[in-house]
A and B are shown apart, each in its own frame.
Chain A
């Protein structure tokens, strides 16, 4: 069974600085998707960035980028120029590409605090 682990329950960053959130996962499959979701206090999950496992190039979305290390099964999120609005809980998630099930398997989450 696939599992996703986020080992940092809480992280803190100064406004305008850079922070990296860690995620590791376990799977025997060779093709899959990885995601980072943001969940602010309003509870609505928002997709931050996604990575297809077959792509070697790391995904980037504006101030957000990932470091995808397939052999190490590691998928970290880097937030550059942190803003107060980045404060939220961040979840790493895994999804198979095969079969009918589309379920996301989530990690435990990392709460990010941004200090002014």
Chain B
């Protein structure tokens, strides 16, 4: 079974530039999460999708961050314009929710390390 795929693995941009990250979840997983992990901290949820609908985006800085999950499969997270404090690892995770779920396990991708200079 293929895992959660993310690209790119690394990205360096200057502040005020824009950047986009891509995530492909495990096949059949209806729920997709984007987490932000600042160096030395635990991940923090940015947004959760159930199929192509948003379930929780309460901690997404909507003035500069946006995310979409067209057709309920792949997802893209965008930052425009980027700030220095956006430097972090962006993790994508997916899970198989519902009765078939094994205790709500989330499977994580390798993450994208963003550096804003």
Contacts and interface: CB of A to CB of B under 8 A. Distances in A.
Given A43-B111, A52-B103, A95-B104, A103 B50 contact: no
Contacts of A46: 108
Contact of A104 (B41, B55, B106, B109): B106
Interface string A38-58: 000011111100101000000
A104 to B, nearest CB: 6
Contacts of B110: 42-44
Contacts of A109: 40-42
A101 B48 contact: yes
A45 B91 contact: yes
B42 A50 contact: no
A101 B43 CA distance: 16
A91 interface: yes
A44 B108 contact: yes
Interface of A: 4, 33, 42-47, 50, 52, 91, 93, 95, 100-104, 106-109
Given A102-B48, A102-B55, 14 more contacts: A4-B42, A44-B108, A44-B109, A45-B43, A45-B91, A45-B108, A47-B106, A50-B105, A91-B43, A100-B55, A100-B56, A101-B55, A102-B33, A104-B45
